[in-house]
Chains A and B, each alone.
Chain A
Amino acid sequence: MRSQNEFSYGGDASVKRPELNQEVSDKEWDNFVYNRKSLRGKHLELWHHVSGCRQWFKVQRDTTTHEIFKTAKMNEEI
Chain B
Amino acid sequence: MSQKHRLKDKGYINRNKIINFKFNGKSYTGYEGDTLASALLSNGIHLVGRSFKYHRPRGFFAAGVDEPNAKLQVQLNGHSEPNVNATEIELVEGISATSQNCWPSVNFDIGAINNFLHKFFPAGFYYKTFMWPKSFWYKIYEPFIRKAAGLGVASVEKDKERYDHKFEYCDLLVTGSGPAGLASAYAAAKSGAKVILAEDKHRFGGSLLMDDVSIDNLSGKDWADKIISELKEMPNVTVKNRSQVFGYYDHNMLVMFERVGDHLEKKSEFTPRQRLWYIRCKEVILSTGSIERPIVFGNNDTPGVMLASGAKEYMKVYGVLVGKKPIIFTNNDSAYETAIEFKNNGADPLILDTRKEHMSELVNEAKNKGIEIKFNHAVIRANGYKKVKSADIGELSEDKTEYKNIKKAECDCICVSGFWTPSVHLASQSGNKLKFDNQIDAFVPDKSKQNEFTVGSANGDFTLQNTLNKGFKAGKDISKKINNKEIDIQIPNATEKKHNIHDKFWCAPLPKKIQAKRFVDFQNDVSVTDIEIALREGYRSIEHVKRYTTLGMATDQGRTSNLNGLQLVSNIENKIVPEVGHTTFRPPFTPVTIGTIVGREIGKHFMPTRLTPMHEWHVKNNAVFVDAGAWKRPRYYKIGNETMLQAANREAKNVREKVGICDVTTLGKIDVKGPDAAEFLNRVYTNAWMKLPIGKARYGVMLREDGMVMDDGTTTRISENHYHMTTTTAQAANVLSHLEYYLQIIWPDLNVNVVSTTEQWAGAALAGPKSRDVLEKLFPKSNVSNEALPFMGYQEADLFGVPARIFRISFSGELAYEINVQSDYGMFMWEKMIEIGSEFGIQPYGTEALSTLRIEMGHVAGPELDGRTIPQDVSLDGMVSKKKDFIGKRSLSKLAFNQSDRQKIVGLIPTDRKTSIPEGSHLVIDKNAKLPNPKLGHVSSSCWSVENNNPFSLAILKDGKNMIGKKLFAVSPLKNISIEVEVISSHYVDHEGKRVRS
Task: Give A residues with C-beta under 8 Å from B.
Answer: 1, 8, 10, 17-18, 20-21, 24, 26, 29, 32-34, 46, 48, 50, 54-56, 65-66, 74-75
Contacts and interface: CB of A to CB of B under 8 A. Distances in A.
A55 B149 CA distance: 52
A33 B891 contact: yes
Nearest to A18: B890
B721 to A, nearest CB: 21
6 contacts: A1-B280, A17-B746, A21-B884, A56-B745, A66-B250, A75-B748
A34 B884 CA distance: 23
B251 interface: yes
B705 A33 contact: yes
A20 B881 CA distance: 14
Contacts, number: 40
Nearest to B755: A54
Interface string B875-898: 000000000110000110010000
A17 B741 CA distance: 12
Contacts of A50: 737
Nearest to B707: A33
A56 B671 CA distance: 19
Q: Chain A interface mostly helix, strand, loop or mixed? A: loop
Contacts of B706: 33-34
B748 A29 contact: no
B744 A21 contact: no
Interface in B701-731: 705-706
Interface in B241-255: 250-251
Instruction: Give the top 9 A-B pairs by smallest Cβ distance, nearest first.
Output: A20-B885, A66-B250, A56-B744, A21-B885, A29-B890, A33-B705, A17-B746, A33-B706, A24-B890
Interface of B: 250-251, 280, 431, 449, 683, 705-706, 737, 740-741, 744-746, 748, 884-885, 890-891, 894
B741 A56 contact: yes
B894 A74 contact: no
B741 A10 contact: yes
A21 B744 CA distance: 20
Contacts of A66: 250-251
Most B Cβ at <10 Å: residue of A18, A20, A66: A20
A48 B737 contact: yes
Most B Cβ at <10 Å: residue of A8, A29, A46, A75: A29
Contacts of A54: 740
Given A24-B890, A33-B705, A66-B251, A48 B748 contact: no
A34 B896 CA distance: 15
Contacts of B890: 18, 24, 29
B166 to A, nearest CB: 14
Nearest to A17: B746
Given A20-B885, A65-B449, A74 B745 contact: yes
Nearest to A54: B740
Given A8-B737, A32-B705, A46-B745, 5 more contacts: A10-B741, A20-B885, A34-B706, A48-B737, A74-B748
A56 B740 contact: yes
Given A33-B706, A33-B891, A66-B250, A20 B741 contact: no
A50 B734 CA distance: 10
A48 B741 contact: yes
A74 B737 contact: no
A65 B706 CA distance: 31
A54 B737 CA distance: 8
Contacts of A21: 884-885
B581 to A, nearest CB: 18
A55 B683 CA distance: 21
A74 to B, nearest CB: 5
Contacts of A24: 890
Nearest to B449: A65
Contacts of A48: 737, 740-741
Contacts of A8: 737
Contacts of A46: 745
B149 to A, nearest CB: 36
Contacts of A33: 705-706, 891
Contact of B891 (A1, A29, A55, A75): A29
B683 A20 contact: yes
A24 B705 CA distance: 13
Contact of A74 (B251, B280, B744): B744
A52 to B, nearest CB: 12
A24 B890 CA distance: 8
A18 B737 CA distance: 20
A20 B683 CA distance: 9
Nearest to B278: A3
A55 B740 CA distance: 8
A49 B63 CA distance: 48
Contacts of B250: 65-66
Nearest to B744: A56
A29 B147 CA distance: 55
Contact of B431 (A1, A10, A65, A74): A65
Contacts of A34: 706
A17 to B, nearest CB: 5
A33 B890 CA distance: 10
Contacts of B280: 1
A64 to B, nearest CB: 9
Contacts of B737: 8, 48, 50
Nearest to B683: A20
A6 B449 CA distance: 25
Contacts of B251: 66
A20 B885 CA distance: 6
A50 B449 CA distance: 30
A48 to B, nearest CB: 6
Contacts of B431: 65
A50 B741 CA distance: 11
A26 B741 contact: no
A40 to B, nearest CB: 15
Contacts of A18: 890
A27 to B, nearest CB: 12
B463 to A, nearest CB: 34
A40 B885 CA distance: 36
A13 to B, nearest CB: 8
A34 B449 CA distance: 34
Contacts of A32: 705
